[in-house]
A = this chain, B = another copy of it.
Amino acid sequence: MTNITPWSVTEDVNYDKLITEFGSEYISSELLIRMEYLTNQPIHKWLKRGLFFSHRNLNSIMDCYEKHEPMYLYTGRGPSSESMHIGHLIPFIFTKYLQDVFDAPLVIQMTDDEKFLWKDLTMDEIDVYTKENIKDIISIGLNSNKTFIFSNKQYISELYPTILQIQKRVTCSTSKAIFGFDNETNIGQMNFPAIQAAPAFPSSFSKLLPITSKCLIPCAIDQDPFFRLTRDIAPKIGFAKPSLIHSKFIPSLKGPGKMSASDINSCIYLTDDIPTIRKKIMKSFSGGGETKALHELYGANLNIDVPFQLLNIFMDDDNRLDFIRENYSKGRMSTSQVKNELCDCLIPIVLNHQTTRSQITNDTIHEFMHIRSL
């Protein structure tokens, strides 16, 4: 059994096994063709390249879009550090793409309460992280007319009726089985799945969305346990099951494992300056040969090469990426050349993010966070 929960991810993730174990489905090429046809927009590179690889019931959202029925997107962020890293942007960049192609409202849950219950942090610290993280999220370029960002602490009164409906239908046994909780789990943690589940139902947004809206949740696959539970409850409280689209994890700069904000050498922060980014990339875990001769003979192992994997995520140009794949894997490009390609790709992304972010004011934040019809 793989060991993936929302709070822990093992180093070696076998995504095939995960799909089998979780009971989700691979995103098929038929599904991608349908999506491209329906939305009349090119498919996102992360779908083509398999970064978003798994789903639940994505066809029902396509049906919904096809019939012009109301739908919305729901994603979230746990504000456990002031500085987000480039991996944290992925669900939001992808969600923005979905928002654009489906022209759909989007709600973003900031789980300040979760971080307080799990981490050794004060509420004041988390309040700062929440605000700073919201600035990063807004900087993605989300449409303020169609995006509602809320913190659980601030929005709890609107969520609470739906939370109660969910709480009533989840036993401690179920919560323990799905999340690996035990008797030493605190009662807030035991209860938290109801809080993350609530925004998957339109009753949580009665002032913002039509009550018949169907929900699509883009998220990393480790969040799936929450939404398996949510999907089980949906019919019991009179709503459609939310659809899901899952991403893989972004690799740590240090090699196998997940990029993590709590390990400064594993990640590139959105606040890192150019020399820092360059230094981190140059030191990142490589799949190149151990010597120049071996590299030229056998080429690089792209399956474990972090710079290439990051290029595979962040580089827009398919042709250039194919060129690098071809030549690096055959030893005709060196690791340092590939790392330089990654610098050239990532540094502008981070700098651009920093510029956009610096222009975000309290008024901008308010624009996204006040309650209004979307």
Contact = CB atoms under 8 A, between A and B. Distances in A.
Interface of A: 113, 116-117, 123, 153-154, 156-157, 160-161, 163-165, 167-173, 175-176, 181-191, 193-194
Contacts of A187: 167, 170-172, 175, 190-191, 193-194
B157 A172 contact: no
Contacts of A172: 172, 181-187, 190
Contacts of A170: 186-187
A236 to B, nearest CB: 12
A167 B184 contact: no
B164 A113 contact: yes
A116 B186 CA distance: 22
Contacts of A153: 157, 160-161, 164
A373 to B, nearest CB: 21
**Copies of the protein in its oligomer:** 2
A116 B164 contact: yes
Nearest to A191: B191
Contacts of A117: 164, 167-168
Nearest to A112: B164
Contacts of A169: 186
Contacts of A190: 172, 187, 190-191
A126 to B, nearest CB: 10
A181 B173 CA distance: 12
Given A187-B194, A194-B188, A160 B156 contact: yes
A157 B154 CA distance: 7
Contact of A188 (B113, B167, B176, B183): B167
Contacts of A168: 116-117, 186, 188
Contacts of A176: 183
A176 B184 CA distance: 11
A188 B161 CA distance: 12
A116 B163 CA distance: 11
Contacts of A164: 113, 116-117, 123, 153, 188
23 contacts: A117-B167, A123-B161, A153-B161, A153-B164, A156-B157, A156-B160, A157-B157, A163-B188, A167-B187, A169-B186, A170-B187, A171-B183, A171-B187, A172-B172, A172-B181, A172-B183, A172-B190, A173-B183, A173-B184, A187-B191, A187-B193, A188-B191, A190-B190
Top 5 nearest A-B pairs (CB, nearest first) are A167-B188, A191-B191, A157-B157, A173-B183, A187-B191
Contacts of A154: 157
A78 to B, nearest CB: 14
Given A167-B189, A188-B191, 10 more contacts: A113-B160, A156-B156, A171-B183, A171-B185, A172-B172, A172-B182, A172-B183, A173-B183, A175-B187, A190-B190
A90 to B, nearest CB: 29
Nearest to A120: B168
Contacts of A160: 113, 153, 156
B188 A171 contact: no
Contacts of A113: 160, 164
A190 B183 CA distance: 11
A217 B46 CA distance: 58
